[in-house]
Structure 1
Amino acid sequence: MSFLLRLTSSLTGRRVGTDRFGNVYFEGRRDQPIYNRRRRWVLFAHGKEPTTVPPEWHAWLHHTVAEPLAEQKRYPWQQEHLPNLTGTPHAYRPAGHDYVGGTRRVTGGDYEAWTPGS
């Protein structure tokens, strides 16, 4: 996050809290004239990665709840957050994808390749 963004956030808003990923949440000091509610925003700790906003803070950001919810107890079957892997070598690629080998699953004879001129 840029220095100017941090400066304007601290001047125009009040700090509400921080989540377990290090994201900092702010609320405006005055009500917005059109919506009659205060503006809420987040400063991301590690680049612009909106998928790191936990559900408790997401509800607060979208004015679903008045106050931020307490972080809920984590169950053993719940997995920790993974960033969006699209465009990285760790992205999901199904069988038959060019990067995985590009071989199509063998069919039962229901496919005949088209050849031009036939």
Structure 2
Amino acid sequence: MSFLDPLFIRLTSRRIGRDRFGNTYWEARSRRDTYGRPMRRVIYGGASEPTTVPPEWWGWIHHTTEAPLPEDAPRRPWQKEHRPNMTGTPEAWRPPGHDAAGGKRPATAGDYEAWTPGR
């Protein structure tokens, strides 16, 4: 995002809200998308990383809900806290047996025997 984009957004849109990650959400006053809906935008609080948009705001920015979901709503026991995409970072999930996770996988019944040429 260039340094002019936030200025343009602030001049042509109205602020809707802010999430706990510092992202601010805006809705255009007059500009419409191809379906005739007002354009919705986000100014990221840190790096321009779309995975930092939490689920409460994802539905609103994609016109799935008319208003963002409340962030203070009670959470179900199975719901986890939102995390941005960890791919390419040390926190990325690696399955058992992955080289970066030690490279050892648990043995299985009738374990795999590698093919060798000339046998």
Question: Which residue matches 2:37?
Answer: 37
User: Mean Cα displacement is larger for which, 25-34 or 35-44?
Assistant: 25-34
1:26-71 per-position Cα deviation (integer Å, ceiling 9, x unaligned): 1111142742221001111111222222223222212223233332
Tell me the matched-pair count.
Answer: 118
Identity, in percent, stands at 56
TM-score by length of 2: 0.80
| Correspondences of 1:1-118 after superposition (within 5 Å) | 2-32=2-32, 34-75=34-75, 77=77, 78-118=79-119
Distance 1:84 1:91 in 2: 8
Unaligned runs of 5+ in 2: none
Distance 1:42 1:33 in 2: 15
Q: Which one has the largest radius of gyration?
A: 1
TM-score by length of 1: 0.81
- RMSD over equivalenced CA pairs, Å: 2.3
Question: Which amino acid in 2 is paired with 1:48?
Answer: S
Unaligned runs of 5+ in 1: none
User: Mean Cα displacement is larger for which, 10-19 or 58-67?
Assistant: 58-67
Please tell me whether the aligned partners of residues 33 and 39 of structure 2 are also in contact (alpha carbons under 8 angstroms): no
Secondary structure of 1:21's aligned partner: coil
Please tell me whether the aligned partners of residues 27 and 40 of structure 2 are also in contact (alpha carbons under 8 angstroms): yes
Distance 2:38 2:72 in 1: 25
